[in-house]
């Protein structure tokens, strides 16, 4: 069965530093993969998605993720963190017409 594992429930980075949020998936076939973001007191919104068209996927707000089949990973990165990036991030996989979410990583931005 397909699922995702997010490494680190909390990640802290300094403003201007690289953001790296880790996600590994388990799947026997190339999956559809997503990153969703949840800002405080809001619902989730799609940040980016991988659908096998390209391994490097660019999303909103300067985020991108790279699908690496050899590592079964789909890590989310941003070169320079902003205070407004503080939020919870969810990696997810599409399976049987449903989305299976990881447990989330809360990103803290230090001034």
Partner 1 sequence: DADVTQTPRNRITKTGKRIMLECSQTKGHDRMYWYRQDPGLGLRLIYYSFDVKDINKGEISDGYSVSRQAQAKFSLSLESAIPNQTALYFCATSAPGPRQETQYFGPGTRLLVL
State how far the Cα of 51 lies from the Cα of 105, in Å rounded to an integer: 22
Binding window for partner 1 (CB under 8 A); candidates: 11-19, 22-30, 67-75, 94-102: 94-102
One of 13, 21, 23, 44 touching partner 1 (CB under 8 A): 44
SS3 track for 14-56? ECCCCEEEEEEEECCCCCEEEEEEECCCCCEEEEEEECCCCCE
46 touches partner 1 by CB under 8 A: yes
Closest CB 41 distance from partner 1, rounded Å = 8
Query: Minimum CB separation from partner 1 for residue 87, in Å?
Result: 14
Q: Residue 102, interface with partner 1 (CB under 8 A)?
A: yes
Give me the residue label for tokens 């909103």: 60
């Amino acid at each position: 069965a397909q699922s995702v594992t997010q490494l680190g429930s909390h990640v802290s980075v300094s403003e201007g530093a690289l953001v790296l949020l880790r996600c590994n998936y388990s799947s026997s076939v190339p999956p559809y993969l997503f990153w969703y973001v949840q800002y405080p007191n809001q619902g989730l919104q799609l940040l980016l998605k991988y659908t096998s068209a390209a391994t490097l996927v660019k999303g909103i707000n300067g985020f991108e993720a790279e699908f690496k089949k050899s590592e079964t990973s789909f890590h989310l990165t941003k070169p320079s963190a902003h205070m407004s990036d503080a939020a919870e991030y969810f990696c997810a996989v599409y399976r049987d017409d449903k989305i299976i979410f990881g447990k989330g990583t809360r990103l803290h931005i230090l001034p």
